[in-house]
Amino acid sequence: MLRGKKGLIIGVANSKSIAYGIAEAIKKQGGTFALTYLNEQIEKRVRPIAEELGCEHTYKLDVSQPEEIDAVREAIERDFGKIDFLVHAVAYAPKEALDGRFINTSKEAFDIAMRTSVFSLIEVTQRLLPALNRGGCVLTLTYYGSVAVMPHYNVMGVAKAALEASVRYLAADLGADGIRVNAISAGPIRTLASSGIGDFKMMLKWNEANSPLRENVTIEQIGGSAAYLLSDLASGVTGEIHYVDSGYNIVGMAAIEEIDGKSTLVWDRLKNQ
């Protein structure tokens, strides 16, 4: 699906990250890409991944530094000429802002979450736009906590809501340039980022018990959907929030099953497994 397509993936942290699953799927579908790393510590993890995936170019990028974004654009133009896709897998909020009551969110934590998780998409897209081919695609990652309250998500839920609105406005802006903008709303998945969310193991169990498919998603499944959205097969798709969550987003109440003629919650059976 992606043979001949070139792009940039921002946010690969390790081989368990969603961005890694996307990178792996892109490679399997014939695409090539560059990866970025935040700092020297992350670089030590990203370079072996780049070698594994046959990625020849890695760039240092702190999305909060406009000059680094511009430097990446110059590197892309030098190494690729132009690219066909941009994957934005960046999100952060201070850990203390994910616990306790949302009403106690500090202005500093709010600003950090919005700047890193939302404005970075806008600014990276803006500054890399000259390096994007017509017919290209921008893809970011969101979560159901944007539209429904999730425990231990707090300010990040607000940031993801703003991110999804940004996807729609960017899609409207860039459609005239032939650029599509979409997001994948992935179900809960065990990653480095999710390790900072309290009671995450319970969230995984709950999603498994109550999603229509009765399972949690994998980075391979998310990668497959990403490959589709980045390909020409999705050339008519933009401004969309594409759910890859085993169908959890359609559920209105906890799942019930019949055991020995009695109705019981699926959760009751799975919670202690």
pLDDT value, residue 193: 60
204, 216 Cβ separation under 8 angstroms = yes
Answering whether pTM is above 0.75, one says: yes
Burial 47-61 (b: 16+ CB within 10 A, else e): eebbeebebebbbbb
For domain 6-270, give its CATH number from 3.40.640.10, 3.30.1060.10, 3.40.50.720, 3.30.1380.10.
Answer: 3.40.50.720
DSSP assignment of 176-197 equals: GGT-EEEEEEEPP---TTGGGS
Band (195; pLDDT cuts 50, 70, 90): low
219, 189 Cβ separation under 8 angstroms = yes
- The domain ranges of the chain are 6-270
58, 50 Cβ separation under 8 angstroms = yes
Calpha distance 83→131 (Å, rounded): 6
Band (238; pLDDT cuts 50, 70, 90): very high
Residue 154 has pLDDT above 90, yes or no: yes
Q: What percent of the chain has pLDDT over 70?
A: 93
pLDDT value, residue 268: 74
pLDDT value, residue 266: 76
Q: DSSP 3-state assignment of 28?
A: helix
Q: DSSP 3-state assignment of 91?
A: coil
40, 61 Cβ separation under 8 angstroms = no
Residue 57 has pLDDT above 60, yes or no: yes
Helix (H) / strand (E) element for 172: namely helix 155-174
Residue 69 has pLDDT above 90, yes or no: yes
Which active-site residues does the annotation give?
A: 143, 153
